[in-house]
Amino acid sequence: MQLKVQPIDIKVGKYKVVLNTIDAKELGVYEGDRVRIKDHVTLTAIVDFTEDMISPGMVGLYHEVQEQLQREWTETVEVEPAERPKSSRIIRKVMDGFKLERDEINELVKDIVEENLNDIEIAAFLTATYIKDMSEDETEWLTRAMIETGEKIEFSTSPIMDKHSIGGVPGNKISLLIVPIVAANGLLIPKTSSRAITGAGGTADLMEILAPVEFSASQIKEMTEKVGGVIVWGGATNIAPADDKLIKIEYPLSIDPHCQLLASIMAKKGAVGAQKVVMDIPMGAGTKILDAKTGRKLARDLISLGERLGMDVDCALTYGASPVGRTVGPALEVIEALKVLETMEGPNSLIEKSVALAGMLLEMGGVAARGQGRDLAYETLKNGKALAKLKEIIEIQGGNPDVTHEDIKVGEFKADITAPANGYIIEFYNKRIVQTARYAGAPNDKGAGVLIHKKRGEVVEKGQPVLTVYAEKKDKLEDAVKFCRENPPILVEGMLIEKVADLREL
C-alpha cells in the first residue's frame, strides 16, 4: 500500500509508525504487528493505531523511523505487513517452559537492544522468566549477550576491581569511601553506578554533587588508567544497554526476575572489564533479601556466574535492616561520607562496612595479605590517602577537588520528627525513611533527605527529635512530614503497634 508520509516529531524510543485504523484493516495488521516501510531504505516498525491523529492514506513516522530513513523520503512510501521478529517466537518458547539455545538468547537480546520488541512482548518475557527462572547456561548466555550488545572496556593491565551493592538499604553511600580506598592502594576500579529509581539516592546521584558523572566508556577507561578509579553513572554509557530496557518494564511490574538480576549485575561488571568483584548483599527486613538462606543462595549464584564468565566474585552478607550511617538523601549522604574521609568522624556502621568491603577488595587484588585487608583499608581512610584519591577522582571527572563537607548545601527547609513516647526504638522501617526522603524531594532535589538522630536499640524520650527532614521546597517538606506522621518510620517500645495489614503494604 502506498501511503503519504506524515512526520511526527516525537521520540518514542522505538521504531514505530502510526496508521489510521482503516488502512490498518486493509493491510490486515493489528495491535503489536509490524509493517515494512520501503523507500530508499527498507525498515520494519511496530504499528500504532489511530482514528484521528493520522488520516487514511497517510502513515505517521515517529522520530526514530525518520532517523532510520536518514530524514529523507519520497512523498509516499510503500507500507506492507511484516512478519514478527524471530524473538517473538523465542519468547513464546520461554512461556511454554522450554529452555533456550544460545543463539536464541543472542537474537532476543539483540532485538531488545535494537527496540524491535514492544512492551507487551518484553513484559511477557520478564513475567515468564520471573515465574520459571532460567538455567545456569541460559543465565550465562544472557549475561554474555548483554555484554556483547553494548560498549566494552578492555584494560591492558590487571587486576580490574569492582564492587556492587544489591540495594534495598537506605543511606548506602559506601562507594564514596570504597572506591578511593581501593584506588589509593594502586588498584584500578572503574565504578559505574546507578541513579535511584525507588530509592532516595543512588551512588550516581550522590557523586553528581561532587563532579559530573556522565562519561563514555572510553573516557571511563582513560580516567581510570590515570587516577585509578572513577565513580560515574552507568546509564550515560552504552554499557549493557539491554539492562536499562528491561528495567523499564520490570519497574511497573515491581519484579526483578532472579536470572535478570544476576545477568544485570554481572553484565555491567563484565562490560567494564572487571576481574575481581565484591558483592554487598544487604539483608534483613525492608531489603530485597529477607533471610540468610536467600542471601546465601544469591551469593552462590553470583559466584558461580562469575566463574563461568572468568570473574572472581566474593560476596558479603551485610546488615540491612537499618540505614547505613545516619543520613538518607544525596547532599546529606555526601556530607556524611566526606566528613569520614576528612576527619574519621562519623557513624561506625558506615566506617566499618566500608573498610570491611574495601578490605576484601584489597586482599582480592593482592595488595593486602589475607586477613589484613580491613586494617589496610582503615589505615588508608585514616591517613588521608583515601581523601586525596577522592579529590583526584573528583578533579579528573571535572569537579572541584577542594570541596569539603562544609561546602555541601542541604535544603533550607527542615522539620524535626520527635519520639511519641519514652523507650527503646525497637523497629525502624527502611521503606518509610526512604519514602519520607522522597516526599521531601530526594533524589531529584539533592538537598532533600532525612538525618537520623536515633537508631534501632537507642533510648529516646518523648518529644526528643528522632529524625530531621530536609527539603528544598516548603510544600515538599510538608508532604514529607505529613507522610511521616501518618506512617511513623520508627516504633518505640510500648507504642501501639499498627495493624499488620498496614505494615505489609510498604
The annotation places the binding site for AMP at 168, 194-199, 203, 264, 288
- In the bound complex, what is the minimum distance in angstroms from residue 505's beta carbon to its own copies? 9
How many residues of this chain interact with its own copies, rule: CB under 8 A? 42
Subset of 425-444 contacting its own copies (CB under 8 A): 438, 444
- In the bound complex, what is the minimum distance in angstroms from residue 349's beta carbon to its own copies? 27
Nearer Cβ to its own copies, position 31 or 493?
31
If one asks whether residue 110 binds its own copies (CB under 8 A), the answer comes out as no
Of 41, 55, 99, 131, which lies in the binding site for its own copies, with binding defined by CB under 8 A? 131
Cβ atoms of 263 and 141 within 8 Å: the answer is no
| Residue 483: how many other CB atoms lie within 10 Å | 17
Subset of 51-90 contacting its own copies (CB under 8 A): 51-53, 63, 88
If one asks whether residue 288 binds its own copies (CB under 8 A), the answer comes out as no
Q: Which residues pair with 425 in a beta bridge?
A: 492
Q: Which residues are annotated as a binding site?
A: 168, 194-199, 203, 264, 288
Of 71, 75, 157, 252, which lies in the binding site for its own copies, with binding defined by CB under 8 A? 252
If one asks whether residue 115 binds its own copies (CB under 8 A), the answer comes out as no
Cβ atoms of 414 and 480 within 8 Å: the answer is no
Q: Tell me which stretch binds its own copies (CB under 8 A): 50-58, 161-169, 225-233, 451-459.
A: 50-58
Check residue 156 and report its DSSP letter.
S
The C-alpha cell that represents 112 in the structure block: 531488545
In terms of Cα–Cα distance, which of 35, 407, 447 is closest to 200? Answer: 447
Q: Tell me which stretch binds its own copies (CB under 8 A): 7-15, 176-184, 312-320, 324-332.
A: 7-15
Subset of 191-210 contacting its own copies (CB under 8 A): 197
| Residue 291: how many other CB atoms lie within 10 Å | 11
Nearer Cβ to its own copies, position 32 or 465?
32
φ/ψ of residue 288, rounded to 5? -75, -20
Place of cell 579528573: 396
Of 121, 138, 392, 427, which lies in the binding site for its own copies, with binding defined by CB under 8 A? 121
Of 6, 44, 50, 106, which lies in the binding site for its own copies, with binding defined by CB under 8 A? 50
Nearer Cβ to its own copies, position 26 or 225?
26
How many residues appear in the chain?
506
Listing DSSP states for 203-256 in one string gives HHHHHHHHS-----HHHHHHHHHHHSEEEEEGGGTTSSHHHHHHHHHHHHHT--
Cβ atoms of 450 and 467 within 8 Å: the answer is yes
Nearer Cβ to its own copies, position 120 or 497?
120
If one asks whether residue 478 binds its own copies (CB under 8 A), the answer comes out as no
| Residue 299: how many other CB atoms lie within 10 Å | 20
The C-alpha cell that represents 254 in the structure block: 515491581
Q: Tell me which stretch binds its own copies (CB under 8 A): 114-122, 227-235, 317-325, 390-398.
A: 114-122
161 residue type, one letter: M
- Counting DSSP H helices and E strands in the chain, the numbers are 19, 18
If one asks whether residue 245 binds its own copies (CB under 8 A), the answer comes out as no
| Distance in angstroms (rounded) separating the CA atoms of residues 150 and 78 | 33
Of 102, 132, 152, 258, which lies in the binding site for its own copies, with binding defined by CB under 8 A? 132
Listing DSSP states for 362-426 in one string gives HHHTTSS-TTTHHHHHHHHHHTTHHHHHHHHHHHHTTS-TT--GGGPPPPSEEEEEE-SSSEEEE
If one asks whether residue 254 binds its own copies (CB under 8 A), the answer comes out as yes
- In the bound complex, what is the minimum distance in angstroms from residue 449's beta carbon to its own copies? 14
Cβ atoms of 263 and 139 within 8 Å: the answer is yes
Catalytic residue among 137, 244, 256, 312: 256
Expressed in percent and rounded to 5, the helix, strand and coil fractions of the chain are 45, 20, 35
Of 71, 72, 75, 97, which lies in the binding site for its own copies, with binding defined by CB under 8 A? 97
460 residue type, one letter: V
If one asks whether residue 28 binds its own copies (CB under 8 A), the answer comes out as yes
Of 128, 360, 387, 419, which lies in the binding site for its own copies, with binding defined by CB under 8 A? 128
Concerning whether 256 is annotated as a catalytic residue, the answer is: yes
Of 57, 66, 110, 123, which lies in the binding site for its own copies, with binding defined by CB under 8 A? 123
Cβ atoms of 60 and 18 within 8 Å: the answer is yes
Active centre residues (catalytic): 256
Q: Which residues bind its own copies (CB under 8 A)?
A: 9-11, 25-26, 28, 30-33, 50-53, 63, 88, 91-92, 95, 97, 118-121, 123-124, 126-128, 130-132, 197, 248-249, 251-255, 438, 444
